[in-house]
Chains A and B, each alone.
Chain A
Amino acid sequence: MTATARTSSSATHPAPAAGFDVERARRDFPILRQTVRGRPLVYLDNAATTQKPQAVIDAISRYYGEENANIHRGVHFLSERATEEYEGARKTVQRFLNAAQENEIVFVRGATEAINLVAQSFGRMRVGAGDEVLITAMEHHSNIVPWQILCEQQGARLQVAPIDDRGELLLDELEKRLGPRTRIVAVTHVSNALGTVNPVGQIVELAHARGIPVLVDGAQAAPHLRVDVQALDCDFYVFSGHKVYGPTGIGALYGKAALLDAMPPYQGGGEMILSVTFEKTVYNKAPHKFEAGTPHIAGAAGLRAALEYVSGLGIEAIGAHESELLEYATGRFAAIPGMRLIGTAPEKAGVLSFVLDPVHAHDVGTILDNEGIAIRTGHHCAQPVMQRFGIPATARASFGLYNTREEVDALVRGIDKVRGVFAR
């Protein structure tokens, strides 16, 4: 991919990140061509879900149009093709995460289901009465509630590592909470509400030094950063397909083979068994042991296309483009009266969370929507983060590979409009 030379209309627009042609990438996303409320769509809600490139839409369509069948036990042609599609997707996920083996990849509905799977399977096996589960104060509800449920079931305690006023994890405080009863650490790679990138490699080292396994929630990281589970040495890594330009309803759990092999099944049913009698059922091996029922085969085909698309553009190039946008937007936001950024950690990815005094986030969202600009408002399923900063809600703009400086400019103009409506 080569960068096209672009002449900038304004001196405040430095050249785009080299090696990434955003205008060309935008053409891959049919949804971006539409207008919303009479204006070009400015989609800045990528941390909630990303839009889908034509390649993903085509892959799903092709699967249903040409390959649809149930997988694994069919003797017929289509079943073989569908099985190849599904297992091929597993290999693509393996490469995307740089997992050592393809049987370390379990297909799930998304990051939420993956965490629930680990909590209920690994968690019920390893966490007992009086034991502890350690998370951080910046987790999404999906990396809090499954552990709370587990702790309630097992009589265990949930421990929380605090964050500072910039939204950075206090690593020494996390280390203090790694105790003799800590059975697992579950930490987000990138915070959905703050954008903070956590030093997950360091966290894994600290935990492993005490023999404690680590789950990394990669839902917000996979679209922005190169993930290498072998380099991280994490025990579990989870992500959702729909946040990395793939379909909804499909995601993956990476688990080290030895752990997955030792873990009991999460759900029972077809696919996850080798043999069933009323007296005894023999479970299949991992990953199939964790994939009860007919899976989301079309979703896997779409996810494969999405990961191939992202890898084709280059995840580093995408990350660099988004970082540059984030830096540009942060600079422009600094000049807006009443603006307060929530989440100002030095290491951030993709997310600009803010409050605009005296306007409530919900009103910001409505007025921007009227300008065709889609952002998210509310607590972002991270209510403890809102409580930490003493605010009920934030407005959040989050960037994807197809966003542009011009869209950041539109956002800033939209915020000016918000201020205009509330100017008294």
Chain B
Amino acid sequence: MSDLRELYQELILEHYSAPRNYRPMAASLQAEGYNPLCGDHFTIYLDMDGDVIRDVSFQGSGCAISKASASMMTQSVKGKTKTQAEDMFREFLHLVMGQAAGNGTADRLGKLAVFAGVSEFPVRVKCATLAWHTLRAALEGKQSATSTE
């Protein structure tokens, strides 16, 4: 049970039941992300001010990990530049893949550090990163749906 509690942190469950920025938006950029293995499906909407993410929202369906990750991601990247958001994704990837030990990643990621437990569940890494892959696709202006496969 201890490993499970590492994965299903209170904050993650809370964001799953009450996701933030969970709404469609008339957006300057948007992208769809899809995990064909489990059917998770999200749309990320971005309101850009030049290079800065002025506002970000999402909609879709997925498991607790993917939905909470999307919710907390929107909070974390709002007001950040495109480059800052991409750096944050890189750090987040290191965290969930268990490659962030001792390099300060967890500090720099703030609340997102609750996803560290995902590294013990390799099959769930795709859940945690789906929204981030989709965000990157949106920032790059990709039209086609992003797939985890």
Interface-facing stretch out of A64-72, A278-286, A354-362: A354-362
Asked if A424 CB lies within 8 Å of chain B CBs, one says yes
CB distance from A390 to the nearest CB of B (A): 11
Bound form: Cα–Cα A415–B67 in Å: 21
Q: Are A392 and B124 in contact (CB under 8 A)?
A: no
CB distance from B56 to the nearest CB of A (A): 23
Q: Contacts A392-B61, A421-B4: A362 and B127 contacting too (C-beta < 8 A)?
A: yes
Q: Are A363 and B65 in contact (CB under 8 A)?
A: yes
Q: Cβ of B121: which chain A residues have Cβ within 8 Å of it?
A: 366
CB distance from B86 to the nearest CB of A (A): 27
CB distance from B1 to the nearest CB of A (A): 8
Q: Give the A interface residue count (CB, 8 A).
A: 19
Bound form: Cα–Cα A359–B50 in Å: 39
Q: Are B17 and A358 in contact (CB under 8 A)?
A: yes
Contact with A along B13-49 (1 / 0, CB 8 A): 1100100000000000000000001111100000000
On B, residues with C-beta under 8 Å from A are 1, 3-4, 7-8, 13-14, 17, 37-41, 61-65, 67, 121, 123-124, 127
- The one of B13, B14, B41, B123 in contact with A392, judged by C-beta atoms closer than 8 angstroms, is B41
Number of inter-chain CB pairs below 8 Å: 55
Q: Cβ of A359: which chain B residues have Cβ within 8 Å of it?
A: 64
Q: Cβ of B7: which chain A residues have Cβ within 8 Å of it?
A: 366
Residue of B nearest to A360 (CB): B63
Asked if A384 CB lies within 8 Å of chain B CBs, one says no
Q: Are A366 and B38 in contact (CB under 8 A)?
A: no
Residue of A nearest to B123 (CB): A366
Residue of A nearest to B60 (CB): A392
Bound form: Cα–Cα A392–B8 in Å: 21
Bound form: Cα–Cα A378–B149 in Å: 15
Q: Contacts A360-B62, A363-B63, A424-B17: A393 and B39 contacting too (C-beta < 8 A)?
A: yes
Q: Contacts A360-B63, A360-B64, A378-B38: A366 and B17 contacting too (C-beta < 8 A)?
A: no
Bound form: Cα–Cα A392–B63 in Å: 10
Other A-B pairs, 4, CB within 8 Å; known A363-B8, A366-B124, A377-B38: A360-B63, A366-B4, A366-B7, A422-B13
Bound form: Cα–Cα A217–B62 in Å: 31
Q: Cβ of B17: which chain A residues have Cβ within 8 Å of it?
A: 358, 424
Bound form: Cα–Cα A323–B49 in Å: 61
Q: Cβ of A367: which chain B residues have Cβ within 8 Å of it?
A: 4, 8
Q: Are A378 and B39 in contact (CB under 8 A)?
A: yes
Bound form: Cα–Cα A209–B64 in Å: 51
Q: Cβ of A330: which chain B residues have Cβ within 8 Å of it?
A: none
Residue of A nearest to B5 (CB): A421
Bound form: Cα–Cα A424–B3 in Å: 19
Q: Are A362 and B63 in contact (CB under 8 A)?
A: yes
Asked if A153 CB lies within 8 Å of chain B CBs, one says no
Q: Cβ of A34: which chain B residues have Cβ within 8 Å of it?
A: none
Asked if A97 CB lies within 8 Å of chain B CBs, one says no
Residue of B nearest to A383 (CB): B39
Q: Cβ of B63: which chain A residues have Cβ within 8 Å of it?
A: 360-363
Q: Cβ of A362: which chain B residues have Cβ within 8 Å of it?
A: 38, 40, 62-63, 65, 124, 127
CB distance from B62 to the nearest CB of A (A): 7
